[in-house]
Amino acid sequence: MAPPPRHLLLLPVLLLLVSLLSAAQMEPAHAAAGEGDHGEGARALLALLQRVQSGALRVLGPRDFDPKLYVDLPLAPGADRAAAEAAVAAVTTRGEMEAFLARYFARAGSDLVEADPPDFEAEPRGFLPRVASGEARAWALQVHALWKDLARRVAPSVAARPDRHTLLPLPGRVVVPGSRFREVYYWDSYWVVRGLLVSKMYDTAKDIVLNLVYLVEEYGFVLNGARSYYTNRSQPPLLSSMVLELYTATGDLGLVRRAFPSLLKEHSFWVSELHNVEIMDNHGRVHNLSRYQAMWNKPRPESATIDEELASKLNSTAAKEKLYHQIASAAESGWDFSSRWMSNSTDMTTLVTTFVIPVDLNTFICKMERDIAVFAELIGEKATAEIFSQASKARHTAIESLLWNSEMEQWLDYWLPTDGNCQGVYKWELKSQNRKIFASNFIPLWLNAHNSGLGPFLDEAKSVRVMRSLQTSGLVCPAGIATSVSNTGQQWDFPNGWAPLQHLIAEGLLNSGSTEAKEFAEDIATRWVRTNYAAYKSSGAMHEKYDVEACGKSGGGGEYKPQTGFGWSNGVLLAFLEELGWSQDKEIGCPS
């Protein structure tokens, strides 16, 4: 492809300025698993745990087998790693495996200790003032109480001996999602924070944010999760949104100042060469958008046995490494897994995640740039505020120019050519927009709710057109918005609905300026609240995902059993009740 004419681009200038702004404030990021002897020890432990994982599958069999369990095991007090390495090869029976694990390892999750949040109150003052229904309020207080069950602290032994844990040390209290997810996760934390703010747990919410800031300081970006095996990738970037929500609730300017250098550093990560793509539109203008791209081409340690089995269908080492890279990059998206990332929706080996320019990722980065502009104004960094204001406008223009489809009235992921022939700037082609329907096609609506004083992302008329496109998309179901319209067996496809997607879309519609759109947002939220309630009443738990075809049904599919707890589901439920209330005479259960 011949080099296209180049234009003066904002982003390279921005990157240079941002690097200069942050260079004096930031220490170099640590290596992926830490530095020095501790780093070597952590890598050696992870290698051992992967051998244990493979051995456990061989000995115990695939039924109810969760590979993540084994890489979450800390070494037992007094246990010697080298002795465990020598012993694991001799394990051949279930009894021997059980004895081996009992001798050398502590229970998964035991390096997190329970920590009652000091700012928890059974019924906080001012809690959900718009919820008039006694039944809805009683249930909301039960969900609110789940924060105590999910609150933890990282045990001091993790910082003292990081070579004996895959868990990473964190300075403050944490709130875990629940069940097999025994550590902090990045994008989950945004909705956990939203829920904690409804629960008036401002100190706990601040701890969560500062933990993520700490990860940026240590690694140069927020990790997918706080484990040594997650240091190769991030997740959808919502740290700036957490800071903004907390600042809006508390006026804590000190938090803004504390987080600001890390937000600059995280932005640099997401617009770096690793993630940035240049695309020239039909008018000769060059735009910059970002993609997911993990720094990894091996099996994910937490799912190594699954990845290795999938890659066994491929013949060459190079093909397997490419697949592992695409798998890890899909995990960075948070949508692991979905037909959204596959060239053949029935074949996971056709993942092409790094060749997809995602609508939602660029929405989140546009929001990040708006947020940083606001923070820079607050702390008197006016030049930086202008840089990021212009950056957000440039990304807004890129999203509208390259991802918007006026025929469908949706934003569509853009697929880059996978033949590898193009270097430098890609030439935009309409046929490269992915016309398949996913909930992510509507995520830019969310920017309606967060214009940060920089003007609306969408006008009211366009929001209404997008709403009508959503209404006829096939995504809107009896119990909420489905993730896609294709039932592939993947958990980020039909018929599963996920709390974050309900909230992002509904909050955008709610703030579009249209009465019709607001009523539709309330309808989406009502369907979601009712299915959460019905499932809670029948199971006694909040669920990670729900089947939106039927009210009260939890979700399924994917590479692990459905999980309960559950951080972001709790947060979205509380946020919906805070935003929309629940009247005295409104039925909380499934409609008959």
Q: What is the pLDDT of residues 192-247, one digit of tens each?
A: 999 999 999 999 999 999 999 999 999 999 999 999 999 999 999 999 999 999 99
- 344/488 Cα distance (integer angstroms): 11
Strand order from edge to edge, sheet including 112-114 = 112-114, 151-154, 174-175
Reported confidence tier of residue 454, pLDDT bands at 50, 70, 90:
low
Q: pLDDT value at position 450?
A: 77
Q: pLDDT value at position 38?
A: 58
Looking at per-residue pLDDT, the higher value among 176 and 14 belongs to 176
Let me know the angle formed at the C-alpha of 487 by 408 and 522, rounded to the nearest 5 degrees: 60
Task: Say what percent of the chain tops pLDDT 70.
Answer: 92
Q: In Å, what is the CA distance from 572 to each residue of 413, 504, 536?
A: 25, 10, 15
Q: Kindly report the length of the chain.
A: 592
- For residue 444, pLDDT over 50 is answered with yes
Q: pLDDT value at position 39?
A: 83
Do 104 and 87 form a contact (C-beta atoms < 8 A)? Answer: yes
Q: What mean pLDDT comes out for the span 176-182?
A: 95
Q: pLDDT value at position 512?
A: 93
Q: What mean pLDDT comes out for the span 303-314?
A: 98
- For residue 97, pLDDT over 60 is answered with yes
Q: pLDDT value at position 23?
A: 36
Q: pLDDT value at position 421?
A: 62
Q: pLDDT value at position 278?
A: 98
Q: What mean pLDDT comes out for the span 380-401?
A: 97
Q: What is the pLDDT of residues 483-498, one digit of tens each?
A: 999 999 999 999 999 9
Q: What is the pLDDT of residues 402-437, one digit of tens each?
A: 999 999 999 999 999 998 666 689 999 999 999 999
Q: What mean pLDDT comes out for the span 170-180?
A: 96
Q: What is the pLDDT of residues 322-376, one digit of tens each?
A: 999 999 999 999 999 999 999 999 999 999 999 999 999 999 999 999 999 999 9
- The 3-state DSSP class for residue 286 equals strand
| Secondary structure in 3-state letters for 443-483 | HHHHHHHCCCCCCCCCCHHHHHHHHHHHHCCCCEECCEECC
Task: Say what percent of the chain tops pLDDT 90.
Answer: 89
* Mean pLDDT for all residues in the chain: 93
Q: pLDDT value at position 475?
A: 98
- 556/545 Cα distance (integer angstroms): 8
28 alpha carbon, distance to own chain's centre: 25
Q: What is the pLDDT of residues 528-571, one digit of tens each?
A: 999 999 999 999 999 999 999 999 999 999 999 999 999 999 99
Q: What is the pLDDT of residues 7-35, one digit of tens each?
A: 334 444 454 454 444 333 333 333 343 34
Q: Identify each DSSP E strand in 390-454 by its residue range.
A: 404-405, 410-411, 414-415, 426-427
- For residue 36, pLDDT over 90 is answered with no
Q: pLDDT value at position 31?
A: 37
Q: pLDDT value at position 206?
A: 98
Catalytic residue numbers read 336, 544
- For residue 42, pLDDT over 70 is answered with yes
Verdict on whether the full-model pTM lies above 0.85: yes
Output the six-digit token pair for 76.
């037992």
Q: What mean pLDDT comes out for the span 304-321?
A: 98
Q: pLDDT value at position 457?
A: 76
Q: What mean pLDDT comes out for the span 256-284?
A: 98
